[in-house]
Amino acid sequence: MIAERTYETSVIRDILMVPEIHARITDDSHAQLKIDTEVESWVTMTAGDTLVGVYCLHPFNRWTLRIHAHVLAEHREKHAMDTGRAILEWFVDNTDYMKIIAEIPVCYPDVIKFTRKFGFQMEGCNRQSVMKDGKLIDQVSLGITRVEVIEGLK
């Protein structure tokens, strides 16, 4: 799996606008996507010549990045675990941040399970913080430190 930062918003938008992905990443209050390739690190995941997804790492503060995974459905079974490992390697090799966090709506238990497979630990619940289908739902907060990432990659 090749992880490479991209500044090509058209490549990013093509993945984010796939209906299944778009529905998961937007809430009822906004459907507009804002892509900032200067502040956010958008990292494409490629297997051979095939683009299988993109990850976004967005600064939460000086020490922490917030992560968002977008792996195309047709590649999840075969490549999802490889993309997860590749983004963690990219994080260690290309940033000096000390932690990654993910906030995941509880209506996506598959994403929570996927994230936990890489060592992310439950850190709390942001109650009724996102609107999906007209209902306020909780998001769980998961996190992993740089030291834990390095240990997990061994």
The 10s digit of each residue's pLDDT in 9-66 is 999 999 988 888 877 777 665 556 788 999 999 999 999 999 999 999 999 999 999 9
CATH number of the structural domain spanning residue 19: 3.40.630.30
91-133 tens-digit pLDDT: 999 999 999 999 999 999 999 999 999 999 999 999 999 988 8
Amino acid 19: pLDDT: 81
**Tokens 């060592």, located at residue:** 119
H or E element at residue 57: strand 50-59
List C-alpha distances in Å: 4 to 29, 104, 125, 134: 31, 24, 32, 37
**Tokens 């500044």, located at residue:** 7
Joined together, the tokens standing for residue 27 give 């809430």
Average pLDDT score over residue span 131-148: 94
How many beta carbons lie within 10 A of that of residue 34, not counting itself?
6
How many beta carbons lie within 10 A of that of residue 46, not counting itself?
17
Amino acid 29: pLDDT: 59
Amino acid 32: pLDDT: 62
What is the C-alpha to C-alpha distance for residues 101 and 120, in angstroms, rounded to an integer?
Answer: 8
What is the C-alpha to C-alpha distance for residues 44 and 7, in angstroms, rounded to an integer?
Answer: 10
Burial of 117 (0-12, 13-18, 19+ CB in 10 A): exposed
Amino acid 132: pLDDT: 86
User: Is residue 134 pLDDT above 90, yes or no?
Assistant: no
Provide the angle, in degrees to the nearest 10, between the axes of the packed helices 146-153 and 73-94. 110
Average pLDDT score over residue span 77-103: 97
3-state class of 79 per DSSP?
helix
How many beta carbons lie within 10 A of that of residue 142, not counting itself?
22
pTM of model > 0.85: yes
Q: How many domains does the chain have?
A: 1
